């Protein structure tokens, strides 16, 4: 009797022998999954390795600490802000940009990042503040600069409004009220911030 067709199938683990970027992506995804289920304090390198179906050594070779792993996982997953909106009016451009920033802040990785900062101690928090700055704040400021500079060219914005204090206003307000007041920034909240804070700041004299 020919039994060749009944030969044992390859061990399931063979398909899990991943390398390079594929394995790193699996580890980063597992870290995000752990954050979502057990939080910062419950996350362990062993748990991440199990979730990624790899060995603990494979995790430690790439990330020597939990802080390094989580920072990279969050940074890799944060939504990227798109190009500066160009809708023909500075108010509409600012609103569209604020909606992009809100989507990044309240995405799954953005929410996880804010939760991590609340859970970890002060020495660890500095690393994650850097992730927020690099992943959300700095890109928002860069696009704000484009929107405001374009508004100056159209005569909607006073020329001296292109300065660091003005560029900081929206990210600072959104981060402050999100953290201190629990604001989730509804469309109405964004409109009020633009109409009551930003437009008076930007408007040319006599306009």
The CB-side HSE value for 179 (13 A sphere, CA atoms) comes to: 15
Count CB neighbours of 80 within 10 A.
Answer: 8
For the chain, the structural domain boundaries read 13-70, 90-202
What's the rounded mean pLDDT across residues 140-152? 95
Q: What is the pLDDT of residues 113-131, one digit of tens each?
A: 877 888 888 777 777 888 8
Are 78 and 107 a contacting pair, CB within 8 Å? yes
Q: Which tokens go with 45?
A: 């390198």
pLDDT given for residue 17 in this prediction: 62
Q: Which tokens go with 63?
A: 């990330």
Count CB neighbours of 179 within 10 A.
Answer: 12
Q: What is residue 83's DSSP assignment?
A: S
Biggest distance spanned by C-alpha atoms of the chain: 97
Task: Give the angle subtended at the CA of 78 by the CAs of 76 and 79, to the nearest 5°.
Answer: 120
Q: What is the pLDDT of residues 28-86, one digit of tens each?
A: 999 998 888 888 999 999 999 999 999 999 999 999 999 999 999 998 888 888 789 99
What's the rounded mean pLDDT across residues 75-102? 91
In 3D, which of 103, 105, 107, 118 has the Cα closest to residue 39?
118
CATH class belonging to 13-70: mainly alpha
Q: What is the pTM of this model?
A: 0.75
């Amino acid at each position: 009797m020919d039994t060749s067709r009944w030969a044992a199938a390859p061990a399931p683990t063979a398909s899990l022998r991943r390398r390079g970027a594929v394995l790193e992506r699996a580890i980063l995804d597992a870290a995000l999954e752990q954050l979502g289920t057990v939080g910062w304090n419950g996350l362990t390198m062993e748990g991440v390795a199990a979730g990624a179906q790899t060995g603990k050594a494979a995790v430690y070779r790439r990330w020597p600490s939990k802080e390094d792993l989580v920072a990279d996982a969050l940074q890799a997953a944060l939504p990227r802000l798109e190009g500066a909106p160009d809708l023909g009016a500075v108010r509409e451009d600012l609103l569209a940009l604020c909606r992009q920033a809100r989507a990044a802040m309240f995405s799954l990785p953005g929410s996880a990042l804010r939760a991590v900062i609340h859970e970890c101690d002060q020495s660890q928090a500095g690393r994650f503040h850097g992730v927020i700055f690099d992943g959300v704040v700095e890109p928002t400021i860069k696009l704000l600069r484009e929107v405001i500079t374009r508004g100056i060219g159209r005569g909607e914005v006073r020329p001296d409004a292109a300065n660091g204090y003005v560029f900081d206003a929206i990210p600072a307000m959104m981060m402050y009220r999100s953290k201190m007041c629990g604001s989730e920034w509804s469309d109405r909240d964004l409109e009020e911030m633009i109409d009551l804070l930003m437009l008076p700041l930007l408007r040319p004299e006599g306009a």
